[in-house]
Structure 1
Amino acid sequence: MSHHAVSPSSCLPRLYANPRADHERVYGEPERAILSRAAFEQAMAEIGAWPGYAPTPLRSLPGLAREAGIDRLWYKDESTRFAQGSFKALGGAYAVLRLLAREVTARVPGVPVTALDLVVGRYAKVTRGLTVATATDGNHGRSVAWGAQVFGCGCVVYVPAACSAGRRAAIEAYGARLVVVDGLYDDAVRQAAADAADNGWFVVSDTSYTGYMDVPRDVMQGYTVMVEEAITQLPASERPTHVFVQGGVGGLPAAVCGHLWESWGRQRPRFVVVEPHNADCLYRSAVAGRPLRSDGDLDTVMSGLACGEVSLLAWAILEQGADDFLTIPDEGAVAAMRKLAEGAHGGRPIVAGESGVAGLAGLLCAAAHEEVRLALGLVPDARVLVFGTEGATDPEVYERIVGRPPGLVMEA
């Protein structure tokens, strides 16, 4: 095992094989009511027309594939998405657009409202009177604030006390009002919902809960644009055998899982959800067979994944769509960030944020442990797709972890 640079002891993963996973199950009406190719086409047509839209690169990482003892490793690099540094730009802003279009149509009936109408302020009289609110660990709030600025409405963003100064500043740069909540991400979600109800604001959350489903569905559907890009960028004859995707509330893995399930059916890859040890609500839900809170302290370097409660919509897809649930220690994410920064993958250095590398870190941790590697079927001809969902969305935090600022890493 000497070819594994992550010392196995520092990166001991926990694996749970999902007994409800069903590769024979057809992606049916219940699933399509949440995420569908038809709704994806709509999201793609919309987002593809936004200024600055371009597919992000799918990078091959031969060096890390060798380290993991597999044939191929592809990394979807979201660090340049809409100059926001994160895939979240596809979700929050798209949900803001859909919400404003619905509200304008309700007030100006019979008129189809386009993104361009909103960007040029054709309905500014209406949109200026509307406010969206959201809770965030950073990236989702930045996306919602950007969407509110671009499409012309007010925005209030709630962040947990632990949200870094750099991430707060990035949100305020888009003109949003920032509210710091004394508590964790889940407390910020509750505060945003309560204040929105009191003030007549619209919640644009990436998590769904009882009675609140439409907007998170739009957020998740926006993410499928990234998944479809990856599908089209893969070499024609080489489909992945495995996909490792980081968890959070579940919106991202559900979007990836649902899109691949509907697109490829039984031929879809083995799907592995990766979470930090201390923020493992999806892992615990899988073990329990129903949505369950994490009882960890949610203290993790992977701050974007520090979520204690599962999105119900996401769970409806992952419950039978995800094959395995894996949790990893923070060291795994730190090691993955440093490897990408050093170019250990066999190419130009890649700047990747601490939450964005969790899928890759999960693969490397799993591959370093014979038992876990075998349980996941990570054989020498395995081909793995991971989603690098953020760059250095907080340059100071990045530099603290990697030892060099992102600008210097890029120049290397």
Structure 2
Amino acid sequence: MLYANPHAVRAPYPAELQDIMSIARAQESRDCLAHWNGLTPGSTPLRTLPDLAASLGVRSVLVKDEALRSSLGSFKALGAPIALVRLLLRKFVGRGFTARTLLGGEHREALDGFTAISATDGNHGRALAAAAQRIGCRCVIVLHANVSDERERAIAAYGAEIVRIAGTYDASVEEAAALAARHGWYVVSDTSYHGYEVIPRDVMQGYGTIAAEVDEVFSGNGAHTEDVCPVTHVFLQGGVGGLAAGVASYLWERWGARRPTFVVVEPVQADCLYQSAIAGRAASASGLVDSLMAGLACGETSPLAWRFLQPSIDAFMTVTDAQAVEAMQRLARGSGNDVPFVAGESGVAGLAGLMQAAATPAMASAIGLTADSRVLLVSTEGATAPSVYAELVGEPAASVTARQQAWLAR
């Protein structure tokens, strides 16, 4: 399904939004994260897939491959660490803490008694646990019933204490807030709620790194002039809205009224952003929120993210789990001109949306998708649940990577 957003505008980036998230603040986050050895040095690949573009009837398809952002295997490595660092800098004013010394583990003794807590579907909690382990503070992660044992083990490997609850992701968010209030712990969440916006803002600012790196590639290779945006369409994953807000806000500020068309894609059973667009306010999902796309199985829209999405996202789409699997298999398979690579079930939502739109004339028309379109996608994760990936794609991630190496060596 596709809903064209009547509230989307083509105008300069509003000053009231720039006060919250901006290109300058995204750069501050990048500078801070440069001190964390948990990130892979340099930018993640921006992959060009000409055969895929031809099959979809568009001019070009570019995919930003966030699976290689760090050993954590997802873009979440850009959000939780910066939010934790900034929280500690605010909490321990006057103690001489800096991003460098915190991420260097130099204040472990001073942080005795400090506990960070968060709910997660997997990737955010893993990133927070890794950052907390490096910094030297305690970390508690709340997992809901649908988070796999495999994802739990990956989080626990970084020293986090696990709390299991029944129910959905949104129930785990409530439990994390309750535990924090009861024990004096600090919530480091990627979703906002009433009275809680500073840390989700920091998380979203970290995600701006993705857009900054894309812009640097285009600026470096002369792919655009200042009058023409190098991409016409950007398809972004849904979830609570943080990634979409972080990337769209950066590109909106960068290109103003000449910004690309933004399309947000989420699972049909976890459609909180789609429902928010229809309602004209932050709203809840209409389904059971039990998607195979675990990282997007969110039932409640982040109100802070919605402040950015309502005026900037041109259309909201939903896709099925089967469509996500098809997209995973297409990227893993590669082709003569398309490098094969690993993209997880949540990471391919944008491609699943693009494939659906390209095959549906009414959808393509609604978003202006044509033979001249230049599309940007963000593959937000790799095989963060290796057994799930192998089952869905029909081969393990290592096999896909080996085929990729052979392709690159041709």
TM (norm. structure 1) is 0.93
- Residue 23 (structure 1) aligned with residue 23 (structure 2): no
Q: CA deviation at 1:379?
A: 0.7
For 1:367, the aligned partner's letter is: A
Q: Is the 8 A contact 2:36 2:103 kept in 1?
A: no
Cα RMSD after superposing both structures: 1.3
Alpha-carbon distance change, 345 to 187 in structure 1, aligned in 2, over 3 angstroms: farther
- CA separation of 1:293 and 1:82: change in aligned 2, threshold 3 A: same
Alignment match, 2:332: 341
CA contact (8 A) 1:59 1:77 kept: yes
Unaligned runs of 5+ in 1: 1-13
Task: Report deviation, 1:98.
Answer: 1.1
**Stretch deviating more after TM superposition (53-62 or 229-238):** 229-238
2:51 counterpart SS class: helix
1: CA distance, partners of 2:376 / 2:214: 9
Residue 369, structure 1, aligned to residue 360, structure 2 = yes
Q: Does 1:35 align with 2:32?
A: no
Give the letter aligned to residue 284 of structure 1: Q
Q: 1:4 aligns to what?
A: none
Residue from 44, 62, 85 that aligns with 1:56: 44
Alpha-carbon separation, structure 2, partners of 1:76 and 1:37: 19
Residues 115 and 151 in structure 1, CA contact (< 8 A), matched pair in contact too: no
Partner residue in 2 for 1:302: 293
Give the C-alpha shift of residue 41 in structure 1. 1.9
Amino acid at match of 2:194: T
Kindly indicate whether residue 374 of structure 2 is the aligned counterpart of residue 383 of structure 1: yes
Matched, 1:195 2:179: yes
What's the offset of the Cα at 1:394?
A: 0.6
C-alpha contact 2:35 2:103 (8 A) present in aligned 1: no
SS at match of 1:332: helix
Report the counterpart of residue 278 of structure 2 in structure 1.
Answer: 287
> For 1:20-78, what per-residue CA distance to the aligned partner results, in whole angstroms no more than 9, with x for missing partners?
10112x21232113211221121111113332432100000111111110001000001
Name the structure 2 match of 1:3.
none
Cα-to-partner distance string for 1:263-283 (whole Å, 9 max, x where unaligned): 111111000011111110001
Deviates most, 132-141 or 295-304: 295-304
Name the structure 1 match of 2:73: 85
Structure 2 match to 1:133: 117
Q: Distance in 2 between matches of 1:221 and 1:40?
A: 5
Structure 1 residue 347 displacement after superposition: 2.5
Of 186, 196, 211, the residue aligned with 1:212 is 196
- C-alpha distance after superposition, 1:326-362 (max 9, x if no partner): 1111111100000011114832211000001101110
2-structure distance, mates of 1:152, 1:104: 14
Aligned to 1:247: 238
Range with greater deviation from structure 2 (67-76 or 342-351): 342-351
Check the 8 A contact 1:327/1:362 in 2, yes or no.
yes
Aligned residue for 1:125, secondary structure, equals coil
Residue 411 of structure 1: which of 397, 402, 409 is its match?
A: 402
Tell me how far 1:228 sits from its aligned partner: 0.5
Match of 1:73 among 52, 61, 65: 61
Q: 1:272-283 alignment to 2 at 5 Å?
A: 272-283=263-274
Paired letter, 2:383: A
Does residue 174 in structure 1 map to residue 158 in structure 2? Answer: yes
Distance 1:403 1:29 in 2: 48
Residue type of the alignment partner of 2:278: V
Range 257-266 or range 113-122, more displaced = 113-122
8 Å Cα contact 2:232/2:374 also seen in 1: yes
**Aligned-partner SS, 1:127:** coil
2:92 is paired with a residue of what secondary structure? helix
Q: State the partner residue of 1:5.
A: none
1:7 corresponds in structure 2 to none
Task: Please state how far the C-alpha of 1:103 moved relative to its aligned partner.
Answer: 1.6
TM-score (norm 2): 0.94
Kept in 2: contact 1:133–1:204 (CA 8 A): yes
Q: Residues 121 and 386 (structure 1 numbering): CA distance in 2 closer, same or farther, change over 3 Å? A: closer
SS state at 1:220 partner: helix
Residue of structure 2 in register with 1:10 after alignment? none
Which one-letter code corresponds to 1:126 in the other structure? A
In the alignment, structure 1 residue 104 sits paired with structure 2 residue 92? yes
247, 255, 258: which one aligns with 1:256 = 247
Who is 1:328 aligned against? 319
The answer (yes or no) to whether the contact 2:351–2:377 under 8 Å persists in 1 is yes
Q: Distance in 1 between matches of 2:361 and 2:335?
A: 22
Alignment of 1:345-360 (within 5 A): 346-360=337-351
Number of residues of Structure 1 aligned to a counterpart in Structure 2:
394
How far has the Cα of 1:262 moved from its partner? Answer: 0.9
- Aligned partner letter, 1:149: Q
Matched residues in 2 for 1:253 and 1:121: separation? Answer: 31
Paired with 2:104 and 2:122, the residues of 1 have a C-alpha distance of 27
SS at match of 1:158: strand
* Structure 2 match to 1:8: none
Q: Distance in 1 between matches of 2:36 and 2:210?
A: 15
CA contact (8 A) 1:245 1:387 kept: yes
Q: Distance in 1 between matches of 2:339 and 2:121?
A: 29
Tell me, yes or no, if structure 1 residue 158 matches structure 2 residue 145.
no
Q: Which amino acid aligns with 1:50?
A: W
Matched to 1:388, the amino acid is S
Identity of aligned residues (%): 49
